[in-house]
């Protein structure tokens, strides 16, 4: 049931991306407006939520501990935030980046498998749940900033090059994408800060410093520092537009690369999440 629900959610995420991509293919009738993409996105998020609910019911724990549940939860938060952007702005193009990202996370989660918690893992109390929950939400907000930034750079390139094709027609205005990037970063930083603070509480009060690897600390604090710098520059008005988009993409890439390296290098309970 858990796998089936995840597969159904994955299918609807892919369908959302495909529906939004249709106008870019310049097919007759491809620019048809309407609500299919929004409906598909809603179905994807609802099915994904049902999948996470099914996991919680079957294991008696929140889907935050372990690689597959955490990846799935991160994917759900990215999908939910992207759906909110799509719903509130009526600009569907955000799904062009967010949908493949969530599909990738779900494929990774399904590939890893929703097995039982490995033996010897530390206790998972409230500190841990809040730490991981806040951290995942912070990372999801960075992913949304990344998605908006990618669209910004593409639309910026089209506008500068005076090309008025499908991207020009379908993608949202530059300032709107910049605004999404701003909000995502400015909300993401306090959220991730909360995650870091709760993580410190979790380490100090529940598991002890000896159970946490330096790489874990490095990536966590590194992500926090990158996001902090970005949010600070945005809040002070020193960074905006194309440079902010480039910075967000670089920051997201740095965090994703560091985390992936960490996962590949570490084993056992020391693995992230």
Partner 1 sequence: MGLTLVGLNHRTAPVEIRERLYWPVAEVPGVLQKLTGVSGTYAVLLSTCNRTEFYLSESHAQALDVISRQAGARLGQSLDPYAYVLQERDVAEHLFRVAAGMDSLVLGESQVQGQVREAWEAAQSSADSVLHRLFQSALRTGGRVRAETALGAGAASVPSASVELAHKIFGDLSGRKALVLGSGEMAELAMGLLVSEGVRTVMVAHRHLEHAAQVAEKLGGRAVEYGEAWPMFAEVDIVMTSTAAPHAIVTMPHVGEAVARRGGRPLCILDIAVPRDVDPAVGRLDNVFLYDIDDLQGVVAATIGIRRREMPAAERIVQQELRHFWDWYGGRGAVDAIRQLREHAESLRAAELERALRRLAHLDPADRERVEYLTRALMNKFLHAPTLALRAAAGNGNDRELAEAIRRLFDLGEGLTQTEEGSNQQ
Q: Which residues bind partner 1 (CB under 8 A)?
A: 26, 28-34, 155, 159-160, 162, 164-165, 168-169, 172-176, 179, 237, 239-244
Query: Residue 14 or residue 233: which is nearer to partner 1 going by CB?
Result: 233
Query: Residue 1 or residue 27: which is nearer to partner 1 going by CB?
Result: 27
Query: Residue 201 or residue 241: which is nearer to partner 1 going by CB?
Result: 241
Query: Residue 157 or residue 211: which is nearer to partner 1 going by CB?
Result: 157
Query: Residue 146 or residue 171: which is nearer to partner 1 going by CB?
Result: 171
CB of 140 to partner 1, least distance (A): 24
CA distance 162 to 192: 39
CB of 55 to partner 1, least distance (A): 39
Q: Give the CA angle between residues 72, 76, 77 to the nearest 5°.
A: 120
CB of 138 to partner 1, least distance (A): 25
Query: Residue 168 or residue 272: which is nearer to partner 1 going by CB?
Result: 168
CB of 29 to partner 1, least distance (A): 4
CB of 99 to partner 1, least distance (A): 22
Query: Residue 53 or residue 238: which is nearer to partner 1 going by CB?
Result: 238
CB of 21 to partner 1, least distance (A): 16
Nearest of 157, 147, 44, 140 to residue 91 by alpha carbon:
147
CB of 226 to partner 1, least distance (A): 20
């Amino acid at each position: 049931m858990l796998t089936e629900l995840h597969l159904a959610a994955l299918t609807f995420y892919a369908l959302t991306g495909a529906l939004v991509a249709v106008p870019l293919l310049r097919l007759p009738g491809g620019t048809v407006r309407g609500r299919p993409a929004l409906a598909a996105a809603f179905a994807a998020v609802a099915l994904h939520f049902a999948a996470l609910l099914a996991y919680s019911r079957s294991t008696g724990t929140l889907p935050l501990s372990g690689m597959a549940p955490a990846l799935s939860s991160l994917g759900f938060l990215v999908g939910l935030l992207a759906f909110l952007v799509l719903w509130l702005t009526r600009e569907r193009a955000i799904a062009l980046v967010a949908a493949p990202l969530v599909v990738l996370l779900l494929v990774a989660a399904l590939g890893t498998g929703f097995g039982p918690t490995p033996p010897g893992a530390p206790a998972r109390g409230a500190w841990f749940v809040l730490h991981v929950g806040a951290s995942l939400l912070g990372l999801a907000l960075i992913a949304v900033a990344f998605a908006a930034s990618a669209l910004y750079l593409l639309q910026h390139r089209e506008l500068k090059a005076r090309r008025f094709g499908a991207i020009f027609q379908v993608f949202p205005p530059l300032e709107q994408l910049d605004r999404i990037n701003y909000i995502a970063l400015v909300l993401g930083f306090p959220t991730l800060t909360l995650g870091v603070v709760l993580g410190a509480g979790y380490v100090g009060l529940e598991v002890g410093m000896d159970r946490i690897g330096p790489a874990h600390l490095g990536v966590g604090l590194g992500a926090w520092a990158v996001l902090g710098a970005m949010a600070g520059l945005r809040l002070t008005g020193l960074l905006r537009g194309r440079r902010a988009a480039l910075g967000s993409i670089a920051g997201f890439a740095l965090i994703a690369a560091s985390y992936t390296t960490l996962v590949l290098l570490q084993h056992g309970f020391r693995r992230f999440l």
